[in-house]
Amino acid sequence: MGTPYPNPISPSETRIGWVGIGVMGFAMASRLLSAGYALTFYARNPSHPNALALQSQGATQAQSPAQLAQLSDVLFTMVGHPSDVRPLLLDAILPALRPNSVAVDTTSSHPELARTISSQARALGAWAIDAPVSGGDVGARDGTLAIFAAGEKKVVEWLHPIFSILGKETYVGPAGCGQSCKIANQITIGANLVGVSEGLVFAKRAGLDPKQFVEGIREGAAGSKALEIFGERMIEGDFRPGGFTEYMVKDLGMGVDVVEGGNDDDVVVLPGASLWKQLFTSMVANGQGKLGSQGVISVIERINGMNQ
């Protein structure tokens, strides 16, 4: 195809690569396949059910991340931790990308790592965009994700036809800003999840019907996306993951524990986020790290002796 950027994106011309086919990545890749894009993916376990499902939808499986990079115009990654992102992108994918191809990391990762990836991509003649997402499994399935896109603005604009299938992108600044935005997002959603949990626990103890309580506050100031997505799941004890709790702990940790620049001006005092992190960490310590973060209600219930 030659160099894809700035050639316009189209399903008939643009070859998409994908790494990371968990709950979120699988749903996102499936949407791109449904939109008519040719998609090749790499999976560490080629016989994983999601790998087989993607193949049944028309996707092709690559033998290695490097081979995938050679076959892709735009290559998405959606993996777990910065420790997964670093070797995958810096050591395997970027050196194999063709000139002017674009790597898009949707993993919730570290801002400084995103800047390093962007710099190395440009040195190798390619581009890298950090574009973590929010919206959970429902947003990934329905194409309503919030996408925090950062890096070269013109490249983000060029990617709009793909992003629009996955959700709504917002350009938030130069490389690394997407990851900083996601950390701030997690601080906010953590507060929402803890608030909904405590409201439900109080309502139950007060003798209210939890579903009537949620319906009653839905349209008021206490209404939120978190309430819409997770309220009923919390009531039903449905803690299937849209995103793992251990990832919430990782994301909050990057906000609470990490000072990037190493000087006093970089310190941000976040007492609430520190508390949310402790509550989600208690889920991990209780063996619930692979459950959805809405399971934090079980921590509040446990403190109140309600799920002994």
Q: Is the pLDDT of residue 1 over 80?
A: no
- Alpha-carbon distances, residue 259 vs 41, 188, 273, 297 (angstroms): 35, 19, 15, 30
Asked if pLDDT for residue 183 goes beyond 70, the answer is yes
- Report the domain count for the chain: 2
Do residues 24 and 151 both lie within one domain? yes
CATH no. for residue 99? 3.40.50.720
Instruction: Please list, residue by residue across 129-148, b when 16 or more beta carbons sit within 10 angstroms of its beta carbon and e when fewer do.
Output: bbbbbbbbbebbbebebbbb
Gap between the Cα atoms of 154 and 40, Å rounded: 25
Q: Which residue from 45, 24, 13, 243 is spatially nearest to 140, judged by alpha carbons?
A: 24
What is the rounded average pLDDT for all residues in the chain? Answer: 93
Supply the pLDDT for residue 258.
Answer: 59
Which CATH number does the domain housing residue 255 bear? 1.10.1040.10
Residue 49: both structure tokens together: 């059910």
Per-residue pLDDT, 265: 57
What are the pLDDT digits (tens) for 238-280? Answer: 999 888 999 999 999 998 875 544 455 566 889 999 999 999 9
What local confidence, expressed as pLDDT, does residue 257 receive?
Answer: 76
Nearest to 247 by CA among 287, 289, 275, 300: 289
Centre a 10 Å sphere on the Cβ of residue 231 and count the other Cβ atoms it contains. Answer: 25
Taking Cα atoms as reference points, which of 83, 237, 112 lies closest to residue 179?
A: 112
pLDDT of residue 263: 52
Residue 8 lies in a domain: no
> Taking 70 as the threshold, does the pLDDT of residue 3 lie above it?
no
Does 290 qualify as catalytic in the annotation? no
Q: Is residue 277 part of a domain?
A: yes
pLDDT in tens, 106-120: 999 999 999 999 999
Domain that holds residue 122: 16-174
Tell me, yes or no, whether 205 and 160 share the same domain.
no
Residue at which a domain ends, from 157, 174, 191: 174
Average pLDDT of span 68-95: 97
- Judge whether residue 132 has pLDDT over 70: yes
**Burial status of residue 255 (CB atoms within 10 A of its CB: 0-12, 13-18, 19 or more):** buried
Confidence band of 221 (pLDDT split at 50, 70, 90): very high
Least confident range from 82-96, 177-191, 266-280: namely 266-280
**Residue from 153, 168, 182, 211 carrying the catalytic annotation:** 182
Query: How much is the pTM?
Result: 0.91
Q: Name the pLDDT band for 4 (thresholds 50, 70, 90).
A: confident
Same domain assignment for residues 216 and 154? no
